[in-house]
Amino acid sequence: MSAPMSFLNNSEAGSLINRFSQDLRLVDTVLPLSLSIFLFEVASCFGAAGLAIAAVGWFAVSIPFVIGVLVLIQRFYVRTSKQLRLLEIEHKAPLFSHFLESINGLATIRAFGWIQPYTDKVLLQLDDAQKPSYLLNCIQRWLTLVLDMVVAFLTVILVVFAVTLREKINPSLLGIALVNMMRLGANMKGIILYWSILETSLGAITRIRAFSSDAPNEQKPGEDKQPGEAWPSTGRLEAKDLDVQYEQTAEPVLRGLTFSVNHGEKLGLCGRSGSGKSSFVQALLRMAEIVNGQITLDGEDISVIPRSLIRQRLSCLTQDPFLFSATIRFNADPLNKYSDGEIKNALERVGIWCVIQAKVGEDKEPLDEKMDENFLSHGQRQLFCLARALLKKSSLLILDEPTSSVDTQTDARIQEVIRSEFSDCTIIMIAHRLDTLLDFDKVAVLDKGTLVEFGAPTELLADEAGAFTRLYRADKSKARA
């Protein structure tokens, strides 16, 4: 969970899901259950063998032979089944990745009519994922057949001894021994089967351990300064000779940025795609590495402050609102810092509380209602996330064009809440529609990772040949088209 964004971006989504789903399930659920069943089956086999020896003492002569046969079967089966189980786990990674891509791109798939190609692709991947499972079932059937033959051989030996030594055998014990022989095949199969599952589960522990040890930690030495509880209290932000890169071997995505934003000012970041707008926000949240220069917030260099603390103290509202499949209370206050009254007040201030009450009903406590993806519309989810930012009371609010995918009414409501409730906050907004920046205090125009213009929007628009003017005209032409 402390890995840098570069590691997560370079890791295959299916492999990550495998580690956090299949492997964790093997360790948390399958391993303890398999161990208990394995021990039970071992005890059952010893019990059946003990009863057979008690009934016919000469039966003990066959035990070493049986153990030798079982060891050979176990080695052959476990070696094969272990590889098949590993293949089964690994073959599901592309399938999981395809599911994620399909879910995230449903609108695009439908719009371009790609339903059939994606369906064909998932069916092929499903076939590949099922091949190891089919072969595993085949060798399990083989194991059952071989062990049943071993048990049949043992039963014949027991009966031969019983007939030969009938004068010296207790019929009651012999009957009990024969009945237990009928279960011995299933017990031996359980021993070998669950032993292989135990080995696979232990392999999952190895993979998880390797994954956790190989994953780099984003926290660097020296990032341990603890600012005051009220930090940041004013939201004054300053970037000085800032160079930022995502990976150590990559070229800087931001170079030489220098500007400042005072308390309560609103700064708009604009530029073409790839100009570095999102990179600056990621540097501010310490998701990208600052290699030169510094960013100071209320006079504190953020490069020496723990990254998790920075993210806790700042508020961020993106284009895609994120909500948990949990209660309204948990979504509004995941860290359980605020009272129910404060949560309701924040939801009322953004105008979403009445919508929640209407959906839940009067006979239920609204904050205890569980939310899902269909509980609120996209615009309502944005308002909900805005209420979450209100609760946080941060002096710096980061916006990534939160109104780009909402209707006009919700857009107006969000803009109204931002202007009224966050009037004392420093606001940094990544803008894709430049007309939203006209009432901002400052605008920073980025191009290929460098700052090309900085100032009040009215001053920048006064320069007919300026970069902001060209972007603004292009945006207007695009809107009219």
CA atoms of 232 and 397, how far apart (whole Å): 11
Find the CATH number of the domain harbouring 428: 3.40.50.300
In 3D space, the residue among 288, 286, 289 whose CA is nearest the CA of residue 297 turns out to be: 286
In 3D space, the residue among 191, 246, 144, 220 whose CA is nearest the CA of residue 46 turns out to be: 191
Find the CATH number of the domain harbouring 159: 1.20.1560.10
What one-letter code names the amino acid at 180? N
Residue 341 belongs to some domain of the structure: no
Residue 208, pLDDT score: 80
As given in the structure block, the two tokens for residue 82 are: 């272990």
CA atoms of 185 and 152, how far apart (whole Å): 9
The mean pLDDT value for 455-480 works out to: 84
Residue 61 belongs to some domain of the structure: yes
Residues 207, 253: one domain?
no
Residue 191, pLDDT score: 81
Phi (first) and psi of residue 426, to 5 degrees: -80, 130
Is the per-residue pLDDT at 339 higher than 80?
Answer: yes
Is the per-residue pLDDT at 481 higher than 60?
Answer: no
Between residues 447 and 476, the one the model is more confident about: 447
Between residues 220 and 98, the one the model is more confident about: 98
Residues 191, 263: one domain?
no
CA atoms of 144 and 77, how far apart (whole Å): 11
The mean pLDDT value for 314-340 works out to: 86
Q: What is the dihedral of CA 334, 337, 339, 343, to 10 degrees?
A: -50
Residue 3, pLDDT score: 66
Is the separation of the CB atoms in 80 and 196 below 8 Å?
A: no
The mean pLDDT value for 401-414 works out to: 77
The mean pLDDT value for 249-277 works out to: 86
CA atoms of 322 and 344, how far apart (whole Å): 19
pLDDT in tens, 153-176: 877 877 777 777 777 777 777 777
Residues 6+ apart with CB under 8 A from 288: 5, 244, 245, 246, 253, 279, 282
CA atoms of 286 and 193, how far apart (whole Å): 48
Is the separation of the CB atoms in 242 and 307 below 8 Å?
A: no
The mean pLDDT value for 305-322 works out to: 85
The mean pLDDT value for 296-316 works out to: 87
**Three-state DSSP state, 285:** coil
Is the separation of the CB atoms in 441 and 456 below 8 Å?
A: yes
Residue 217, pLDDT score: 67
Please report which confidence band the pLDDT of residue 335 belongs to, taking 50, 70 and 90 as the band edges: confident
In 3D space, the residue among 92, 91, 70, 85 whose CA is nearest the CA of residue 135 turns out to be: 85
Residue 361 belongs to some domain of the structure: no
pTM of the model: 0.67
Is the separation of the CB atoms in 325 and 364 below 8 Å?
A: no
Reported as type and span, the H/E element at residue 300 is: strand 300-301
Residues 260, 380: one domain?
yes
Residue 231 belongs to some domain of the structure: no
Residues 264, 206: one domain?
no
Query: Taking the CB of residue 269, how many other CB atoms lie within 10 A of it?
Result: 25
Residues 179, 275: one domain?
no
In 3D space, the residue among 203, 202, 199 whose CA is nearest the CA of residue 74 turns out to be: 199
Residue with tokens 């990745």: 97
Residues 6+ apart with CB under 8 A from 435: 472, 475, 476
In 3D space, the residue among 262, 227, 275 whose CA is nearest the CA of residue 396 turns out to be: 262
Residue 123 belongs to some domain of the structure: yes
Q: Which of 3-7, 26-30, 283-287 has the lowest mean pLDDT?
A: 3-7
CA atoms of 177 and 23, how far apart (whole Å): 41
Residues 76, 139: one domain?
yes
Residue with tokens 């351990």: 209
Is the separation of the CB atoms in 396 and 314 below 8 Å?
A: yes
Residues 176, 312: one domain?
no
Is the per-residue pLDDT at 37 higher than 80?
Answer: yes
Please report which confidence band the pLDDT of residue 13 belongs to, taking 50, 70 and 90 as the band edges: low
Domain extent at residue 476: 237-323+376-480
What one-letter code names the amino acid at 334? P
Is the per-residue pLDDT at 479 higher than 70?
Answer: no
Residue 1, pLDDT score: 60
DSSP letters, 323-360, are --SSBHHHHH-TT--S-HHHHHHHHHHTT-HHHHHHHH
Residue 226 belongs to some domain of the structure: no
Residues 124, 168: one domain?
yes
Give the number of domains in the chain.
2
Mean pLDDT of the chain: 82
Please report which confidence band the pLDDT of residue 9 belongs to, taking 50, 70 and 90 as the band edges: low
Is the separation of the CB atoms in 2 and 219 below 8 Å?
A: yes
The mean pLDDT value for 342-370 works out to: 85
Residue 328 belongs to some domain of the structure: no
Residue 82, pLDDT score: 77
**Three-state DSSP state, 250:** coil
CA atoms of 388 and 397, how far apart (whole Å): 12
Residue with tokens 């088209």: 481
The mean pLDDT value for 49-55 works out to: 77
Residues 182, 81: one domain?
yes
Residue 7, pLDDT score: 67
- Looking at 180, 214, 248, the residue that finishes a domain is 214
Residue 249, pLDDT score: 64
Residues 294, 401: one domain?
yes
CA distances from 141 to 71, 272, 449 (A): 18, 62, 62
CA atoms of 302 and 244, how far apart (whole Å): 13
Residue 242 belongs to some domain of the structure: yes
Residue 392, pLDDT score: 84
Reported as type and span, the H/E element at residue 117 is: helix 115-164
Residues 308, 181: one domain?
no
Residues 246, 113: one domain?
no
